Amino acid sequence: MLEAIAQTARTTRKRILGIRDLMQESIERVKRELPKVYSRDLMELLFRQSYCKIRFLEEAGIVHRKTASLYLRELERIGMLTPVKAGRGMYYLNTDLLKLLVRVWVDHLYPESTR
């Protein structure tokens, strides 16, 4: 039982540190490549969950709809987000964050794996 708790703690720590490092790398990239788009609030929103919508930026009070659309397309252009159309809505996936979360989960499930 204690080993299971310890393993969960190690996995959670690895996930948190990975997200922190990825967020810092993304902040530096956006500051360098899209300085007019960068804001701390925007970056935190993009890492709150693995996808974003224009409405999320509006509701957070970061920008208005037209500017939100422009920002998300610019982040797509530099490869940080991947657009996915679902019904009438457009979702922007933070693919690097998704990859990180999947990798940490797979490592947790298959610790002996040599991928």
| Domains of the chain, first to last | 2-108 (1.10.10.10)
Rg from Cα positions in the chain: 16
CA–CA gap between residue 92 and residue 50 (Å, rounded): 9
Q: What is the pTM of this model?
A: 0.82
What are 17-76's pLDDT values in tens digits? 999 999 999 999 999 999 999 999 999 999 999 999 999 999 999 999 999 999 999 999
Q: Are residues 14 and 107 in contact, defined by beta-carbon separation less than 8 angstroms?
A: yes
